[in-house]
Structure 1
Amino acid sequence: MKRYVQFEPFIIEDFETDHWDHPKHRHNHFEVILIMHGSGKHIVDEHEMDYTGGDLFLLRPEDSHEFNVDQTTRFIYFKFTQLYVSNNNFQVPENWNREIDLLLRKSQVSHGSLIHSAEDIAMTRKLMEMISMEWQRSAKRYKETIFQLFSVILTLIKRNQSQPYEKFEGDDTSRIESILYYIECNIHDPDALSAAKIADEFYLSPNYIGSFFKRNMEVTLSDYISEYRYKLIEQRLRYSQDSISEIAMDFGFFDASHLNKFFKKHFGDSPSDYRIDVEQKD
């Protein structure tokens, strides 16, 4: 399968077409794609979905995709590397790397549009238009302006992906969804993810939370949390330039050796060996 390679930190493309010329492909970078207008099909991996004006998609390097255009479509592409979002000289929001982790993780569970609120769709259109204009003008400090606009889009994506969890839920389905969101929000804080703490948050017995979670998710609570942390750490190792010590600190490990033990237990290799292996394959 064809893989498009990009060496620049970020590239903006704004174009209109009534025919998609690219075969199904992958990239070595991430892509945020806004549909300004038009309609058709978007195929991501084995998932096929309709697209229409206002839809916003995020693709990771390992995702394969293509479009089938039914009605003339205007696309605005924001293509960026992990280095662009994790290592730059611009002022970034607090916990920026964690926000990126959650955004990339969310793309694994849903290939649909990332923005659902009509008001936020309108804002996203304006923001992407401004990004495209800044890119074309290349005026003074345009890179910083584009980065700050992108950080706003990230915030809009975040608030459209999940609703704040609530302790009081009416049925098991709603309660388990709230627990999953709680885990997502606290994945960098091990102290908040003990069975006793989660049980207390949702007014469940510490002895019951484990069986309740496994009955609904078909996996134990501890295994789910470990797998989630492992996936995020793997993404950080693969796509960022953060040191092993920085990653360990951000995920609540005492030091790099504790992260090494955790990662090796799940993957078989140390974080350093995994990163070297990824670089050699790329």
Structure 2
Amino acid sequence: MRSLRQFSAVNVQRVIFNEGAEQDVVNDFYEFLYICSGAGKLRKDGQEVSFKNGDIFFINRRKEYYISADTEVELITIRFTEAGKRVLRSLTDQNSNVIVSVSKIKSSKNLKVRLQNEDLALAEKIVFLMLDMNQHPEKNENLFYFQLLSLIAIIERNLSFGEIKNEKNSGPQLIDKILKHIHKNLKDPKMLSLSYMAETFRMPLHQLPIYFKQEMGISIKGYIGRERLTATAYLLTHTADTISQICRSFGYADESHFYKRFKKEYGLSPSDYRLKAC
């Protein structure tokens, strides 16, 4: 079994596992594993998952894990000690705008994190930047922490929603509650703001849009916009309200913007749509 100690608070290294290699590992530091290339399996806490390029694992301090390489595997390991963890905690405590932590990443439900495309590209840049910075670790140690916080923030917003779905105000019914709220408040933009809905449904602000898209296959902003247009189209064909009245009733501050959105959705201007329905 491989076991290492680390003396610098933060350290970044490139590691190669040859095809067919197998290794049990336990280290005296916290560790992120970023898979650069190759495929294999990682086992931790009695769970075994396959991995490929772009996957990220978090390994807790003194936690044993087993890794096997189906092909040659190249990974980058970002390691930080207990002292490094205290620095991260201090930075988050000092800045009220920084709300990330490794607590959710430690969850057994998040054994592996698979990043979305845009976040994958961003995380890769951060990881390789940290690898370059490691050429002068003493000079760059303070910068490491800020890059590490950025990486943790990206990982957090890509986590599974296992924790959320176990809460009282959740489960299969949570998306139904969100949809009901949206349809009930289509005429009130403030009630449909992400901050208001996140607070209403007791969800972290950054997780609400990700959860909604996972459940509905469309962004929450796109869904709200589409449903508002559907409601305005109904009023155009079932009431005598003017287009300006309909715009105002749904909180559209710019009537020309409404015209553009409506025509893009239906291929007709609101007035032509109304005439065609007559």
TM range (shorter): 0.5 to 0.7
Q: Which residue is 1:156 aligned to?
A: 154
- List 4+ stretches of structure 1 deviating above 4 A: 19-22, 88-93, 95-98, 169-172, 200-203
How far did 1:114 drift?
2.3
Q: Which residue is 1:109 aligned to?
A: 108
Q: Could you give the per-residue CA deviations for residues 72-114 of structure 1, whole angstroms, max 9, x where no partner exists?
A: 11110011113213237996572599632xx234322324322
3-state SS of paired residue (1:161): coil
Match of 2:143 among 145, 159, 167: 145
Q: Which residue is 2:174 aligned to?
A: 175
Q: Which residue is 1:31 aligned to?
A: 31
Q: For residues 9 and 115 of structure 2, what CA distance do their matches in structure 1 show?
A: 28
So what's the TM-score if we normalise by structure 1? 0.52
How far did 1:142 drift?
1.6
Look up the equivalent residue of 2:100 and give its one-letter code.
Answer: E
3-state SS of paired residue (1:28): coil
**8 A Cα contact 2:21 2:68, kept in partner:** no
Change (3 A) 1:21 1:80: farther
Q: Percent identity?
A: 16
**What are the ranges of 5 or more consecutive residues in structure 2 without an aligned counterpart?**
178-198, 203-278
Q: Which residue is 1:43 aligned to?
A: 43
How far did 1:45 drift?
2.6
How far did 1:118 drift?
1.3
Higher mean Cα deviation, 127-136 or 140-149?
A: 140-149
Superposed, which structure 2 residues align to 1:91-110 within 5 Å?
94=95, 99-100=100-101, 103-110=102-109
3-state SS of paired residue (1:85): helix
Q: Which residue is 1:135 aligned to?
A: 134
3-state SS of paired residue (1:74): strand
Q: Which residue is 1:271 aligned to?
A: none
Change (3 A) 1:201 1:91: closer
Aligned alpha-carbon RMSD (Å): 3.8
3-state SS of paired residue (1:160): coil
Q: Number of aligned residue pairs: give it.
A: 176
Q: Which residue is 2:251 aligned to?
A: none
Q: For residues 120 and 14 of structure 1, what CA distance do their matches in structure 2 show?
A: 21
How far did 1:134 drift?
0.9
How far did 1:2 drift?
6.0
**What are the ranges of 5 or more consecutive residues in structure 1 without an aligned counterpart?**
179-199, 204-282
Q: For residues 97 and 5 of structure 2, what CA distance do their matches in structure 1 show?
A: 25
Q: Could you give the per-residue CA deviations for residues 9-45 of structure 1, whole angstroms, max 9, x where no partner exists?
A: 1221113332476742322210001001110111113
Q: Could you give the per-residue CA deviations for residues 134-190 of structure 1, whole angstroms, max 9, x where no partner exists?
A: 112x18842222222111101101211267x79xx99843439x9xxxxxxxxxxxx
**8 A Cα contact 1:44 1:111, kept in partner:** no
Higher mean Cα deviation, 32-41 or 19-28?
A: 19-28
Look up the equivalent residue of 2:147 and give its one-letter code.
Answer: L
Q: For residues 171 and 89 of structure 2, what CA distance do their matches in structure 1 show?
A: 46
**8 A Cα contact 1:39 1:50, kept in partner:** yes
Q: For residues 96 and 5 of structure 1, what CA distance do their matches in structure 2 show?
A: 33
So what's the TM-score if we normalise by structure 2? 0.53
| Max Rg structure | 2
**8 A Cα contact 1:90 1:144, kept in partner:** no
3-state SS of paired residue (2:71): strand
How far did 1:119 drift?
1.0
